[in-house]
Amino acid sequence: MDRMLVVVFDREDEAYKGKNALLQLDTEGSIAVFAHAVIAKNADGTATVKQRDDSGPLGTLAGTSLGSLIGLLGGPAGLAIGATVGLLAGSTADLNNARIGGGFIDDVAKELLPGKFAVLAEVQEDWTAPVDVRMEAIDGTVFRRALSDVKHTVAEEEIAAMKADLAQMKAELAQAHADRKAKLQEKINQLDAKIEARLEKARELRHAAELQTKAKVEALKAKAAALKSKAIEAHV
């Protein structure tokens, strides 16, 4: 199952140990790590991205679920390493793209207090024990949430609502007085342009999601092939 993991630690060195433990589990084949980052919560309530992975299967984190989570907990997805921003600075769009829901963000925010650190990772795991055991050994508090397809549903609902408004305006235009027609037509043109822009954005998001899914599948195939090769070598 594809999940978002957030593991909160009291110390920075523990956070890096947590990150390394996740990558070790990935190497062992216990889980698959598609992307990861380390952030710190500062005393003034802001958060700093200490390290992030832009070389994994998903490439740059911008536009990914993890990138949106960083946007919610530590600033924009394109944030440079070491930059500082306000906690929960993300937008509704970030929440939709993160595909995890506001309740998950609230739970993490309550634990990620000033002076603490967190490892964020988008992973595939079939069972929770491998991660939980490793993280408990280094005093990490694990939060996980399955990724949903909510972002596509929200986009479709938004576009449908805008189209309903457009249809209503066009119906009013047919019966409007001459002095109202010009203003109403202007509003129709503006809304029509917004719908087209939102449709284009939805197409871009779907395309990005398809590319990310393909990248994940290829990464899992490569991992399975590597594990099979190791198993064969071990029996030779």
* Predicted pLDDT at 9: 98
* 150 pLDDT tier (thresholds 50, 70, 90): very low
Instruction: Specify the length of the chain in residues.
Output: 236
| Long-range contacts of the stretch 42-45 (C-beta < 8 A, 24+) | 42/84, 42/114, 43/114, 43/115, 44/114, 45/86, 45/87, 45/114
* 222 pLDDT tier (thresholds 50, 70, 90): confident
* Predicted pLDDT at 25: 95
What DSSP state is assigned to residue 75? S
- What confidence tens digit (pLDDT) does each residue in 27-75 have? 888 999 988 999 998 887 777 888 877 655 555 555 567 877 877 776 4
Share of the chain above pLDDT 70, in %: 76
User: Number of helices and strands (H, E) in the chain?
Assistant: 7, 6
* Predicted pLDDT at 120: 93
- Here the tokens at position 203 are 């197409």
Report d(CA 140, CA 121) in Å as an integer.
Answer: 14
**CA terminus-to-terminus distance, the chain:** 33
Per the CB < 8 A criterion, the answer to whether 105 and 79 are in contact is no
Share of the chain above pLDDT 90, in %: 21
Q: Which residue has the higher pLDDT, 168 or 136?
A: 136
pTM for this prediction: 0.62
Per the CB < 8 A criterion, the answer to whether 9 and 51 are in contact is no
What's the mean pLDDT in 91-96? 52
What's the mean pLDDT in 210-228? 76
**Measured between alpha carbons, how far is residue 15 from residues 20, 34, 90, 167, 168 in Å?**
9, 18, 23, 53, 54
- Residue 82 main-chain phi, psi, to 5 deg: 90, -10
What's the mean pLDDT in 140-153? 74
Residue 28, SS3?
A: helix
Report d(CA 223, CA 229) in Å as an integer.
Answer: 10
DSSP symbols for 153-183: HHHHHHHHHHHHHHHHHHHHHHH--HHHHHH
* Predicted pLDDT at 229: 78
What's the mean pLDDT in 193-216? 76
What DSSP state is assigned to residue 36? E
